[in-house]
A and B are shown apart, each in its own frame.
Chain A
Amino acid sequence: MRRLLPLAPALLFLAGFFVLPMLDIVGRSITAADGSLTLARYALLFGDAFYLRAMAETLALSAGVTLLCVLAGYPVAYYLVRHAGRWRGVILFTLVAPLLTSIIMRTFGWQVLFARRGPVNLLLEGLGLVEAPIRFTGSLGIAIAALVHVLLPFMVLSITPVLQSIDRRLEEAAAILGAGRFRAFLEVTLPLSWEGILTGCILVFMVANGSFVTLLLLGGGLQTLPLLIYQQFNTTRDFGMVSAMSTVLLLLALACLALQLRLVRKGG
């Protein structure tokens, strides 16, 4: 008990500013207008095709963005650890620099760059590659690209320290035993960096799961739970439904954490 004492301030803070508000949200989600208990909102969420589709779109978007972040982030992390040398600091700064700007400004930047009469379209037209401007904004592709841009640093920064800790002699041993560079990477390096990939995936998945500014401003034709929560709060003020959707989002995040713990334990 005495050993837990130093944790008390943090635990109290979390209890007051996280656990209690969360319990309040759960309570609101199961309280009807007349004060009685109800599960009607959850029945609607899990029984109406529209809301099921919104949940599926939320998960699919998060999974897609996570996958793209792994595919784009792993080579960057690998290059940083193995080949960047004295450029390492510069690359790291370039990677993290976008996080120093407000997400709203960054999203407006995407809007300006990819506008119908924006620099990208003007360049494509100038090079004769397209006859009419391409409608980038409002498309799913641009929304995903913007999300990957925001979340890529989380993936790279999760993988880099794990790659750094891998003993290079293991790869050399694989080479001595006849494995080519690709096979050595596939059978030695990649499995050993699994924990970093997993941590990055969980981080990116959870942040993507709750992100809404990018989708709100860039469109993408998706109706995810965070967008619906914002809409219900701002437009209809149906706090009961807002709370139910928030609880479902929270459960998704908790499920992700549980999965991470399980996989890490399995890996360990």
Chain B
Amino acid sequence: MALWTRRGLAGATAALGLSALPHRPARAQGKSITVTALGGIWEEAVRTCFAQPYEKATGNRAQVLIGSPTQWLAQIEANPARPPIDALVTIPDLAIAAVQKGLVERFTVEKTPNLVHTPEEFIAPLDGHGVLFDYGVAGFTFHKGRVKQPPKSFAEFVERTAKGEWQASLPGIGYAVTPIMLIWAMAKALGGGVDNVDPFFEAVRKMGRNVSFWNSPNDFENALASGDADIGIYFDGRTWAWSDSGASFAGFLNPSEGGSINAIAIQKPKNASEEAWPYLDIMLSAEAQLAFAKKLNYGVTNRLVVYPPGLAERITPWQQAAFPPYAEIAAKRAAWVDRWNREIRR
């Protein structure tokens, strides 16, 4: 008990403080920023392709936060004066919401010099308050053993599904980007568009019980692997990554009308650390984006990127895909979800 006298305690505290002293200058040199990543291979890619080069270049530390774009936006909305996130990856709909709420800053060439290598198509949707830095295309992912002749277009897909040639699995309304990758994309391919999604609802009615819905990517892969589905609408990058991990039966095809581009945006919240700009610039650089594309099999938006053989055949050029009017879709989203709930009820 004598050990725990006030003097003893003070001595121990002082000793601990002294032992920490040599580390202090090192901590003070570098600043820390918080960046975000989706789970799984995404996290690994963010760490190696973006965070490590940033730390090497600046001496700062990039802490990677795993989660979902919905959660991150809610966190920023809850504390806009001191946002807990400095560099954000998000889906276009939420990026637009962040712009509309005045939560994010405008990108400039002064702050992110690599912006000049990004085509205007990937800057304009967010009015410069963020950039679409990578994209996947939602097309037909199918089991090569069970679907020998995959459909070439959305129209053919609907016709043959309705005839019962296969069991199809489509993204369900619980999945955040379904309004883009399915409702809008199919409506547009079948003669409708953002102001007329009747062709999509008509197509689902026509396909009837030959179609089921998935609400998470794993859900779809599980359905295709277990034989519950033979074909579905899914992303090119995820299909190739799945195929490389052992699911060699999985094939992918971009519909002739063009599958929808499902991009990922990067943004900097207002009042977040200025140290995030170099990180965001690295995310826009050709070198980092190529490394990212190699890991994820997704297309990237820096026009200087040249994909190596093997990867080039897998990535759908964005010019061959359908570019969604993100802002217009965001405005219709609630109405489409409501209609889905009342008409499809699955």
Using CB atoms and an 8 Å cutoff, list the residues of chain A in contact with chain B.
Answer: 50, 108, 111-112, 115-118, 135, 137-138, 216-217, 219, 221, 223, 227-228, 230-238
Pair B333/A235 contact, Cβ less than 8 Å? yes
B178 at the interface (CB under 8 A from A): yes
- Specify which of A50, A112, A135, A216 is in contact with B342 (CB 8 Å cutoff): A50
B97 at the interface (CB under 8 A from A): yes
- Assembled-state Cα–Cα distance A234/B74 (Å): 11
- Specify which of A111, A227, A232, A235 is in contact with B223 (CB 8 Å cutoff): A111
> What are the residues of chain A within 8 A of B175 when measuring CB–CB?
234-235
Pair A236/B334 contact, Cβ less than 8 Å? yes
**Main SS class of interface, B:** helix
B219 → A minimal CB distance (Å): 6
> What are the residues of chain A within 8 A of B223 when measuring CB–CB?
111, 115, 137
> What are the residues of chain B within 8 A of A223 when measuring CB–CB?
341, 345
Pair B212/A117 contact, Cβ less than 8 Å? no
- Specify which of B70, B179, B342 is in contact with A237 (CB 8 Å cutoff): B70
B148 at the interface (CB under 8 A from A): no
- Assembled-state Cα–Cα distance A234/B94 (Å): 10
Pair B227/A116 contact, Cβ less than 8 Å? yes
B149 at the interface (CB under 8 A from A): no
B215 → A minimal CB distance (Å): 5
Pair B173/A231 contact, Cβ less than 8 Å? yes
A/B interface sample: 16 pairs, CB < 8 A: A111-B226, A111-B228, A112-B226, A115-B228, A116-B226, A116-B227, A116-B229, A118-B226, A137-B228, A138-B346, A217-B219, A231-B174, A231-B337, A235-B173, A235-B179, A237-B73
Pair A116/B70 contact, Cβ less than 8 Å? no
Not counting A219-B346, A234-B70, a sample of 18 additional A-B residue pairs whose C-beta atoms are within 8 angstroms of each other reads A50-B342, A111-B223, A115-B227, A116-B229, A117-B227, A117-B228, A137-B228, A216-B215, A223-B341, A227-B174, A228-B341, A231-B173, A231-B174, A231-B341, A234-B176, A235-B173, A236-B333, A237-B73
The 9 A-B residue pairs whose C-beta atoms are closest, nearest first, are A117-B227, A115-B226, A115-B228, A236-B334, A112-B226, A116-B228, A115-B227, A138-B212, A216-B215
Pair A221/B346 contact, Cβ less than 8 Å? yes
CB interface residues, B 171-207, toward A, < 8 Å: 173-176, 178-179
A32 → B minimal CB distance (Å): 16
- Specify which of B73, B212, B333 is in contact with A137 (CB 8 Å cutoff): B212
B27 at the interface (CB under 8 A from A): no
> What are the residues of chain A within 8 A of B213 when measuring CB–CB?
219
B216 at the interface (CB under 8 A from A): yes
- Assembled-state Cα–Cα distance A50/B209 (Å): 22
B218 at the interface (CB under 8 A from A): yes
- Assembled-state Cα–Cα distance A214/B216 (Å): 12
A117 → B minimal CB distance (Å): 2
B239 at the interface (CB under 8 A from A): no
Pair A108/B346 contact, Cβ less than 8 Å? no
> What are the residues of chain A within 8 A of B346 when measuring CB–CB?
138, 219, 221
Pair B212/A219 contact, Cβ less than 8 Å? yes
> What are the residues of chain B within 8 A of A227 when measuring CB–CB?
174
> What are the residues of chain A within 8 A of B341 when measuring CB–CB?
50, 223, 228, 231
- Assembled-state Cα–Cα distance A227/B56 (Å): 45
Pair A112/B70 contact, Cβ less than 8 Å? no
B248 at the interface (CB under 8 A from A): no
CB interface residues, B 74-89, toward A, < 8 Å: none
- Assembled-state Cα–Cα distance A233/B222 (Å): 25
Pair A118/B218 contact, Cβ less than 8 Å? no
A191 → B minimal CB distance (Å): 42
> What are the residues of chain B within 8 A of A238 when measuring CB–CB?
334
A228 → B minimal CB distance (Å): 7
Pair A217/B345 contact, Cβ less than 8 Å? no
> What are the residues of chain A within 8 A of B222 when measuring CB–CB?
108, 111-112
B220 → A minimal CB distance (Å): 11
- Assembled-state Cα–Cα distance A219/B337 (Å): 17
B167 at the interface (CB under 8 A from A): yes
When C-beta atoms are compared, the residue in chain A nearest to B227 turns out to be A117
Pair A118/B228 contact, Cβ less than 8 Å? yes
Per-residue 0/1 for B299-342: is the Cβ within 8 Å of any A Cβ (1 yes, 0 no)? 00000000000000000000000000000000001100100011
Name the residue in B212, B227, B229, B333 with the highest tally of chain A Cβ atoms < 10 Å from its Cβ.
B227
- Specify which of A112, A115, A137, A230 is in contact with B174 (CB 8 Å cutoff): A230
Name the residue in B73, B174, B213 with the highest tally of chain A Cβ atoms < 10 Å from its Cβ.
B174
Pair B337/A217 contact, Cβ less than 8 Å? no
> What are the residues of chain A within 8 A of B167 when measuring CB–CB?
116
When C-beta atoms are compared, the residue in chain B nearest to A228 turns out to be B341
> What are the residues of chain A within 8 A of B94 when measuring CB–CB?
237
- Assembled-state Cα–Cα distance A135/B167 (Å): 10
> What are the residues of chain B within 8 A of A217 when measuring CB–CB?
215-216, 219
- Assembled-state Cα–Cα distance A38/B215 (Å): 33
- Assembled-state Cα–Cα distance A238/B74 (Å): 12
> What are the residues of chain B within 8 A of A221 when measuring CB–CB?
345-346
